[in-house]
């Protein structure tokens, strides 16, 4: 009776269907009656089960521990070599159980690694960072066909290929965008203070970190501008819709966003080589010249700041601009390599 029960429990044990109580009972029966009566039946069950991949690690650990205990018990009996014969099923178990456990664990780990790699491949997005130093401009053609003219001392970050429901770029500095129309995927430009959304249009975004404000000037189409991190709130100043000839200006100090008019020579024609000043302060002029020509300007003379400066120079050398500036502010200058000394 006990032998049949032991064999039934052993079969459930191998298939991983034995409960904790049944496992404990099987171990108790083995302790009481040994494993010899499981010999032929156990061998048949073992060979025909093919259930190692279905066995839980906990079950196989228990079985391995039980095999080790049986081996120790046989050694302690100190029987003659002719009598100390391990049952066939136990010899097979001693070899196959560790292999089965390793195979199951390896399969689980390898499966997770494969799944992780596949997920990473699907979700991988390549970003491109284009940085223009002072004195250098560049033209960038994005994957959707949009053309970006990036000004000097500016940085643009964008996806190598636009994925998803929107086309998003990040700008620091100044750029003119000629955006390919795609109603299903809006084009979004993020700066530190503003978020600009368009479908297909052309416009300039000027967002230098040290400037007093951020400007978005529209040449064609329609542009929506909102504060970065702010909630859309109709006509309360948080969101502006701009049409050609209009410019949105965000003042950093008071965090206000308003519409203003603008001069196209200042906001658009820089990409054609025109540097334009209108009633600009002396410090502002020097900063623009450093960006435009990639030089460092050192002022060694006290300059009267009562006068503003106006002028337009298209594809002109730095010396010519400095001549006009020197006439207004009465100074001498010297150019050595990339350094300008005003005295």
pLDDT at 65: 59
Closest to 162 (Cα-Cα) out of 178, 184, 177: 184
pLDDT at 228: 86
Q: List beta partners, residue 258.
A: 249
pLDDT at 118: 43
Total residues found in the chain within this entry: 343
Q: What angle, 0 to 180 degrees and rounded to 10, lies between the N-to-C axes of helices 318-329 and 282-293?
A: 170
Write out pLDDT tens, residues 230-267. Answer: 544 344 447 899 999 999 999 998 899 999 999 999 99
pLDDT at 250: 95
Contact between 261 and 237 (Cβ < 8 Å): no
Distance of CA 81 to the CA centre of its chain: 67
Contact between 87 and 38 (Cβ < 8 Å): yes
Contact between 205 and 214 (Cβ < 8 Å): yes
Cα torsion through 316, 322, 327, 328, rounded to 10: 100
Q: Taking phi first (over 0 means left), then psi (-120 to 50 degrees means alpha), and beta for anything else, what does residue 106 get?
A: alpha
Please tell me the distance from the alpha carbon of residue 29 to that of residue 93, in angstroms, as a whole number.
18
Closest to 221 (Cα-Cα) out of 240, 246, 238, 239: 246
H or E segment at 60?
A: helix 57-77
Contacting residues for 152 by C-beta, under 8 A, at least 6 apart: 132, 133, 134, 135, 136, 137, 173, 291, 292, 294
Low-confidence ranges of the chain (pLDDT < 50): 41, 43, 45-56, 79-120, 231-237
Residue 309: helix, strand or coil by DSSP? strand
Q: How many CA atoms lie within 13 A of 285 on its CB side?
A: 24
pLDDT at 62: 56
Please tell me the distance from the alpha carbon of residue 337 to that of residue 317, in angstroms, as a whole number.
14
Return the sign of the alpha-carbon dihedral for residues 325, 330, 335, 341: negative
- Rg, C-alpha atoms of the chain: 40
Please tell me the distance from the alpha carbon of residue 192 to that of residue 186, in angstroms, as a whole number.
19
pLDDT at 230: 56
Write out pLDDT tens, residues 201-240. Answer: 999 999 999 899 999 999 999 999 999 875 443 444 478 9
């Amino acid at each position: 009776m006990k032998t049949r029960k032991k064999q039934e429990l052993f079969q459930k044990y191998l298939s991983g269907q034995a409960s904790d109580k049944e496992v404990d009972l099987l171990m108790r029966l083995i302790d009481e009656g040994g494993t010899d009566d499981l010999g032929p039946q156990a061998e048949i069950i073992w060979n025909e089960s093919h259930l190692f991949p279905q066995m839980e690690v906990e079950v196989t650990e228990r079985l391995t521990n039980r095999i080790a205990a049986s081996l120790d018990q046989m050694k302690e009996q100190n029987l003659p070599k002719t009598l100390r014969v391990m049952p066939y099923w136990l010899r097979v178990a001693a070899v196959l159980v560790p292999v089965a456990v390793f195979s199951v664990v390896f399969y689980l780990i390898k499966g997770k690694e494969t799944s992780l790699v596949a997920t990473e491949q699907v979700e991988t997005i390549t970003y491109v960072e284009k940085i223009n130093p002072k004195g250098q401009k560049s033209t960038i053609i994005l994957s959707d066909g949009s053309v970006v003219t990036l000004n000097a001392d500016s940085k643009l970050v964008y996806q190598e290929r636009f994925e998803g429901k929107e086309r998003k770029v990040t700008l620091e500095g100044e750029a003119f965008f000629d955006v390919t129309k795609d109603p299903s995927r809006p084009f979004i430009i993020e700066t530190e203070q503003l978020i600009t959304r368009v479908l297909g249009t052309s416009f300039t975004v000027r967002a230098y970190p040290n400037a007093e404000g951020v400007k978005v000037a529209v040449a064609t189409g329609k542009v929506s501008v909102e504060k970065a991190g702010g909630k859309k709130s109709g006509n309360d100043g948080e969101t502006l819709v701009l049409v050609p000839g209009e410019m949105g200006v965000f003042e950093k100090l008071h965090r206000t966003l308003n519409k203003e008019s603008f001069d196209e020579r200042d906001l658009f024609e820089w990409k054609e080589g025109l540097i334009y000043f209108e009633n600009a302060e002396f410090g502002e002029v020097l900063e623009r010249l450093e960006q435009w020509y990639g030089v460092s300007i050192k002022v060694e003379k006290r300059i009267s700041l009562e006068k503003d400066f106006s002028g337009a120079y298209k594809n002109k050398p730095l010396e010519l601009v400095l001549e006009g500036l020197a006439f207004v502010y009465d100074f001498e200058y010297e150019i050595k390599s990339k350094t300008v000394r005003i005295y």
